[in-house]
Amino acid sequence: QLQLQESGPGLVKPSETLSLSCTVSGGSVSSSSYYWGWVRQPPGKGLEWIGSIHYSGSTYYNPSLKSRVTISGDTSKKQLFLKLSSVTAADTAVYYCARTFDSSGSLFFDYWGQGTLVTVSS
C-alpha cells in the first residue's frame, strides 16, 4: 500500500522560508503516469494546489504561488521537497503531499499524506 508522510518544522517565522519533505513508501516514484505534489489547506478553509513534480524533473506550479515556490525531488530516496519563501500568516495551513495520476487527459490526486500543520508566527 502506497504511503506518503510529510515532515518538517511546525512553526516558521514571517519572511522566512518554509521547508517540508515528503517520503514515499510502498511504491515506486519513477512511473511516467504520476506526478508528486503539494496541496495546502488553511485552518477552516478549502484546498489549494501548490504544485507538482514528475520523476523526470519537470515541474508545474500554481501561478498564484509560483514566484515563491520550489518543488524538488530525490528519486533514490523517494522523497519530494517543498520550499515556500517569504512566508506570511496567510501561509499558515495544513500541507499535504499527494500523488497525481496524469495520463491521457486523466488527472486526479489518488493518494494523500496525512498532512502536517505549519504555523507562520513570530
Partner 1 sequence: QSVLTQPPSVSAAPGQKVTISCSGSSSNIGNNYVSWYQQLPGIAPKLLIYDNNKRPSGIPDRFSGSKSGTSATLGITGLQTGDEADYYCGTWDGSLSSWMFGGGTKLTVL
Q: Which residues are near partner 1 by CB under 8 A? A: 39, 46-49, 52, 60, 62-64, 96, 101, 105-110, 112-115
Q: Cα separation of 27 and 99, whole Å?
A: 11
Question: What is the rounded CA–CA span in Å between residue 24 and residue 31?
Answer: 13
**115 contacts 7 by C-beta, under 8 angstroms:** no
Report how far residue 93's alpha carbon sits from residue 90's, in angstroms, rounded to the nearest whole number.
8
Question: Please, what is the minimum distance in Å from the beta carbon of residue 122 to partner 1?
Answer: 27
| Closest separation in Å from C-beta 95 to partner 1 | 11
Closer residue to partner 1 in complex, CB, 10/105: 105
The least CB distance from residue 12 to partner 1, in Å, is 21
